[in-house]
């Protein structure tokens, strides 16, 4: 397998002095679930938001290093960020359905990209909702407001909304943090299917979820990458003392 993404000596500091990244270097495999875990404030979300340049919306004091996706440095100022964000989709911690119908939520991104053909849009709605394992639950009420769904359903619609754009990489920032165990199970199940098609980077909401889902796992502590290994090894025989302490629940 090849590295879809190569992060090369990435450092970043926010203007307000909050969470930052220090000299991160790692490669992220294609068609696998890479888990970024560690205590709050470690830089996981910041790293995710670098990968689709969502950090552009935030005040950044300094940043250096490179992120190569398919060999191209996306931190280059000349990067087409709109195209990048279509290629690198993101699901947020709390489900945020846009204030419109389920269907419109799914087609929103495609319509922005200029897709007007009804048939294409309908096809995408069905395909992405099926991939997100929510089609059967919503297929009869696609025109209802998305807000009317339960939290777990909303989150899968948000996932489908990203899938509709046919991205190559999906970023998930604690996507199950507000959900009950059954809904969490459904989202995790969807991920297992999805990794056959996409490169997935997940910030889990617990160590247990990290252990359940990780093909590869990276442990972040205070802006630094402490350990990066295959998930199975990391959660059975961590090399670093800090990683072990965290996994064992001695801090965090």
Given the rule CB under 8 A, which residues bind other proteins? Answer: 52, 54, 57, 59, 80, 82-83, 85-86, 89-90, 92, 94, 96, 98-99, 108-109, 112-114, 145, 147, 158, 161-162, 165
Name residues whose C-beta falls within 8 Å of residue 250's C-beta, 6 or more positions apart in sequence. none
Read off the DSSP letter of residue 148: G
Return the number of the residue (49 or 195) whose C-beta is nearest other proteins: 49
Return the number of the residue (7 or 88) whose C-beta is nearest other proteins: 88
Name residues whose C-beta falls within 8 Å of residue 33's C-beta, 6 or more positions apart in sequence. 191, 195, 200, 201, 202, 213, 214, 215, 216, 231
Specify the 3-state DSSP secondary structure of 185. Answer: helix
Return the number of the residue (164 or 226) whose C-beta is nearest other proteins: 164
CB of 244 to other proteins, least distance (A): 35
What phi-psi label fits residue 228: left (phi over 0), alpha (psi between -120 and 50 degrees) or beta? beta
Burial state string for 188-213 with b = 16 or more CB within 10 A and e = fewer than 16: bebbeebbeebbbbbbbbebebbbbb
Return the number of the residue (6 or 96) whose C-beta is nearest other proteins: 96
CB of 76 to other proteins, least distance (A): 17
CB of 110 to other proteins, least distance (A): 9
H/E run at residue 210: helix 207-213
CB of 221 to other proteins, least distance (A): 25
- Quickly list DSSP for 152-178: HHHHHHHHHHHHTT--SEEEEESTTTT
Return the number of the residue (14 or 108) whose C-beta is nearest other proteins: 108
CB of 79 to other proteins, least distance (A): 13
Return the number of the residue (6 or 93) whose C-beta is nearest other proteins: 93
Read off the DSSP letter of residue 143: T
What is the C-alpha separation between 202 and 220, in angstroms, rounded?
Answer: 13
């Amino acid at each position: 397998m090849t590295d879809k993404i190569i992060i090369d000596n990435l450092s970043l500091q926010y203007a307000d002095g909050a969470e930052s990244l220090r000299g991160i270097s790692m490669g992220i495999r294609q068609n696998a679930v890479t888990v970024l875990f560690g205590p709050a404030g470690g830089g996981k979300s910041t790293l995710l938001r670098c990968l689709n340049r969502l950090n552009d919306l935030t005040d950044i004091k300094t940043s250096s290093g490179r992120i190569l996706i398919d060999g191209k440095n996306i931190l280059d100022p000349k990067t087409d960020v709109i195209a990048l964000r279509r290629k690198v989709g993101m699901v947020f911690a709390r489900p945020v359905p846009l204030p419109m119908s389920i269907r419109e939520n799914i087609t929103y991104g495609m319509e922005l990209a200029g897709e007007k053909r009804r048939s294409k849009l309908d096809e995408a709605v069905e395909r992405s909702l099926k991939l997100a394992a929510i089609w059967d639950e919503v297929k009869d009420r696609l025109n209802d407001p998305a807000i009317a769904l339960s939290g777990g359903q909303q989150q899968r619609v948000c996932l489908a909304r990203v899938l509709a754009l046919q991205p190559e990489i999906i970023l998930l920032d604690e996507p199950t943090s507000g959900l009950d165990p059954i809904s969490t199970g459904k989202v995790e199940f969807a991920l297992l299917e999805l990794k056959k098609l996409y490169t997935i980077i997940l910030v889990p909401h617990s160590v247990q979820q990290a252990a359940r889902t990780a093909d590869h796992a990276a442990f972040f502590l205070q802006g630094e990458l402490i350990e990066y290994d295959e998930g199975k090894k990391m959660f059975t025989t961590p090399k670093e003392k800090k990683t072990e302490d965290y996994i064992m629940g001695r801090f965090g």
